[in-house]
Structure 1
Amino acid sequence: MKALVCTALLAALFLGTGGIAQAKSLSRIIAEMGLSPADFEVLSATSNALLSSGSPSVGQERAWLNQETGSKGTIRVQSVQDNCVILQHVVQPEGTEQARDIRTRRCMTADGKWILTP
C-alpha cells in the first residue's frame, strides 16, 4: 500500500508540472529530478503529517530531510478551498543548488482521508 501511495504521489507531482512528464517513466523522472524513491517516501510522510495535524491553513509549512541521501525540501499549504488544499513542494536533491517547485492538490474524502486529485 505504501508503494502505491508513493507511486500515486510521484505521478501527481510530475503530471502537475507539465505535459512533458506524461511521456516519461517514473523512474526516469525521479532520476532527472535527482530524488530517490526514499526521498519521495519522506516527502509523502511529511505531507501526510502536515495534513493530519488538524485543519490545514494557508501558510502552514513543514520541512523535510532525508538523512540517508541529504535531499531536503519544504511543503507549504498554498491555498484551501472547501475540502481541498494546494500544496507547494520545494525540493532540493542532494548535490544541487537549485530547488524545484512542484504543486499538488489533495482533497479530503468523506471518511477523512486526504487523496491526490487532478
Structure 2
Amino acid sequence: MDMRLRIPQCIDIQRLSGAPRSKSVLARSERMNRFVRVVAIASIAVLAAVPSIGKPLSRILAESGLSPLDMEMMIQAEAVLYSVSQPKTGTVEAWSNPETEAHGTVTIINRNANCIMLQHEAHMKGREKALQPKRKFCKDDEGAWRLSL
C-alpha cells in the first residue's frame, strides 16, 4: 500500500464567490475552508520538520507542537503578505499565540512574475528548533492567490 501523502497541484484558499447561499451553508463552507487551510499548513509544517517514516499523520501532527489556532494564525499572516497589490521580497509579518506561547514570522523570500515564496519560522513552547516550512502562492488568471507546489 502506498502511504505517501498526495497533495493536489493547486488549492484555492480564498472563499469562492457566487450565488447567495443560506447562513448554514455559508457556515459549513467556512468551516470546511478553515479545515482545509489548517490541514494544508499542518501537513507542510510537519513534513518539513519531522521525519515521517513509520509514523501515522495523527502522531506527527500531535508532535509538531502547533495547535489549530497556531496554524490559523500562520495562514492569516500569509494572507496579510500576499493581499497587498505588489508584495515585496523581504516583507515580514509576525504572529503570536499567547495561549500556547507559540510565535513566529512569515517572510516573502522570493517573487517571480505572479508567484511569491513564503518562509515560515514557527517557535513552539518547549522546542529548541523552529519549524521552517516554505509555501509558494501564485495568482491565477482571475487574480485569486492559490497555494502552489
TM-score strictly above 0.5? yes
CA pair 117-95 structure 1, distance change in 2 beyond 3 A: same
- Supply the distance in 2 between the matched residues of 1:51 and 1:22 (Cα, whole angstroms): 33
1:108 to 129, 133, 139: 139
2:97 to 49, 63, 66: 66
State how many pairs are aligned.
117
The letter of the residue matching 2:95 is: W
Q: Match of 2:41? A: 9
Q: Match of 1:95? A: 126
- Supply the distance in 1 between the matched residues of 2:93 and 2:86 (Cα, whole angstroms): 14
CA pair 99-80 structure 1, distance change in 2 beyond 3 A: same
CA pair 49-23 structure 1, distance change in 2 beyond 3 A: farther
- Supply the distance in 2 between the matched residues of 1:66 and 1:26 (Cα, whole angstroms): 24
TM, length-normalised to structure 2: 0.68
Q: Does 1:45 align with 2:45?
A: no
Task: Determine if contact 2:115/2:136 at 8 Å carries over to the other structure.
Answer: yes
Task: Determine if contact 1:92/1:99 at 8 Å carries over to the other structure.
Answer: yes
Task: Determine if contact 2:45/2:131 at 8 Å carries over to the other structure.
Answer: no
- Supply the distance in 1 between the matched residues of 2:79 and 2:105 (Cα, whole angstroms): 13
